[in-house]
Structure 1
């Protein structure tokens, strides 16, 4: 036992070398395995939303979900093991950006066991309570840390610069996009991407039902607006995003609500992909960055306004009529734009010179 304890202490003791970065190809494999992991959750979300009876923890979609966890976890652990074989130990063996994901692996396993016990003894949640289950909240937090590993890896990677190519940034974008889908799943009760075109038009056609209809859709638009725009603003503080970045985030972002609705509201989902393309065009035109505060604020407000203007327009086209209350359909995109502007101000209250931004990046 003493020999085992000494061996464990030897592995945990930091050997003192500076931590290294993995290659972009390694990050790409990490995010591909993360997509397997996230895809399993999307299938599980589809099952909970579309199947009437779920009586057991042991389901095919849980098999996909937990096998994805095993695959991406094994890959992360392998990166550490490779460094240990090279003589590193402790933190020196963990690549930059991979520590939080590594620490989240046993946490996810513990919450997964807790979830199995919860379902075994307390049953399977079938409505909004699924989004508040303590074991599910533990799973989503630790999963978030695992699947966003490529983003943290790229954040301070040498050679990536402030203007990376889309191909270089793709693992980080996909990882952050998957993280945003987890948030959208756990605020499904306020996710405007889950609405159909007819339900959007119907909701904004009356103000009689104060506790439902229009107020419910308006609140959902506000919540979804924050979930959509915050990741983009976060990235723009670090990089001048290449064209296509916002579209990539949008494509990944519609997958979870698409799974939940079995893609029955496809026109609405495609609207958000189109809004991502508009966001890329605005990004190219305005060139927002940490040094260009005015452009950053303008992007935040205009991209949000454009997204929700498209949302109302497409819903109206598909439904064949405009909502009956003009104040609602004309004002909702303006409210979204103002919220986007406020988020821009909160994310970047003061313009930062390039030197200060780079210094802050190195400390991240």
Structure 2
């Protein structure tokens, strides 16, 4: 339920973004798209109130919330305050119509509150005990972990919305051909600005996609299909803000490529690769498979003007960046192979220590 109300909010947010791009003269806070966004927030806040009352049992309401929901309640307060402040801001300064809307102070308050609220199912999922059955079907694992992974996808989409000005999903950043002017000649730096902005967009979007996947992968809580869900939600919603042939074809291409990334993750699991190997290779697989598909889609609709050095180089560079992020995420981590804990068969010698092993796994979470 919490994830569903979060999806309601995110759909409302991107609908409001669509309105700002496509409805001229939008100068009011009270619009149908704001209504969709804030009604989703109100439903989510009300649901947290229901949970607090249901589990209260004489305790303070904040402490009666389920595990992982405390910060969600904080997010409700922050988002509500941001909404009131945003209404006053629009009354004083008008409605933003471009890049300024994504960096408006009141909108950034909404970003912070929304992130705390949207990640509630993710934190709740991490707080659950580890699965006791290793042989569970992958489809069952996906269904079981769908709310946390959907929460992760929605939080990533929220971050993607505030990074639309540097997104490779919403506009063809590789469309303009590189103009070569010799070093030191007038106009050299200006000629390379579009390519530099495009390279930066790919690197920033790489971080946007890889970091959420590392959050799931590092704790061995990345079920099959999680990459597909995260990438598809971000790509299709970003493309829907300002629909173009490029955006739609690009979203379809990266959705298929995300499925291939999940196949790589499954293959690494079946090969029983070490934790670090899985972490690095699964992270690097995302940009190495996503960006060639996306660049190929751009070429198919005539929106690829980069030379081969640029478009192939950005794939390699993004893959190296993803691998570096994976290595950095493992620094200082006490991360025993929990697979070995879960794989131990319940024999007579191990029955007495089962409770101790489960407590250890819970402490790691």
Fold shared per TM-score above 0.5: yes
- Structure 1 140/113 Cα, relative in aligned 2: closer, same or farther at 3 Å? same
Query: What is the distance in 2 between the residues matched to 1:324 and 1:335?
Result: 15
1:236: which partner in 2? 217
1:362: which partner in 2? 363
Residue 253 of structure 1: SS of its match in structure 2?
helix
2:18: which partner in 1? 46
Give yes or no for the alignment of 1:247 onto 2:228: yes
TM-superposed CA distance for 1:273, in Å, is 0.9
1:352: which partner in 2? 335
Give yes or no for the alignment of 1:32 onto 2:9: no
- Structure 1 274/281 Cα, relative in aligned 2: closer, same or farther at 3 Å? same
Pick from 167, 172, 176: which aligns with 1:203?
176
Unaligned stretches of 5+ residues in structure 1: 1-28
Pick from 200, 205, 210: which aligns with 1:224?
205
- Structure 1 66/166 Cα, relative in aligned 2: closer, same or farther at 3 Å? same
Query: What is the distance in 1 between the residues matched to 2:104 and 2:306?
Result: 39
Query: What is the distance in 2 between the residues matched to 1:56 and 1:161?
Result: 53
2:265: which partner in 1? 283
Answer yes or no: is the 8 Å Cα contact 2:178–2:192 preserved in 1: no
CA-atom RMSD in angstroms = 2.5
Per-residue CA deviations over 1:217-241 (Å, capped at 9, x if unaligned) read: 1110010011011111110011253
Pick from 280, 298, 307: which aligns with 1:297?
280
Answer yes or no: is the 8 Å Cα contact 1:282–1:303 preserved in 2: no
How many residue pairs match? The answer is 331
Query: What is the distance in 2 between the residues matched to 1:274 and 1:223?
Result: 21
Answer yes or no: is the 8 Å Cα contact 2:130–2:361 preserved in 1: no
1:158: which partner in 2? 129
Residue 55 of structure 2: SS of its match in structure 1?
helix
Answer yes or no: is the 8 Å Cα contact 1:173–1:245 preserved in 2: yes
1:110: which partner in 2? 81
TM-superposed CA distance for 1:71, in Å, is 0.3
Residue 192 of structure 1: SS of its match in structure 2?
coil
- Structure 1 116/211 Cα, relative in aligned 2: closer, same or farther at 3 Å? farther
1:1-364 aligned at under 5 Å gives the runs 29-84=1-56, 86-160=57-131, 165-196=141-172, 200=174, 202-207=175-180, 209-262=190-243, 264=245, 265-287=247-269, 292-319=275-302, 323=305, 325-349=307-331, 352-354=335-337, 359=360, 362=363, 364=365
Query: What is the distance in 2 between the residues matched to 1:329 and 1:246?
Result: 23
Unaligned stretches of 5+ residues in structure 2: 135-139, 182-189, 342-357
Taking structure 1 as the reference length, the TM-score comes to 0.84
Taking structure 2 as the reference length, the TM-score comes to 0.84
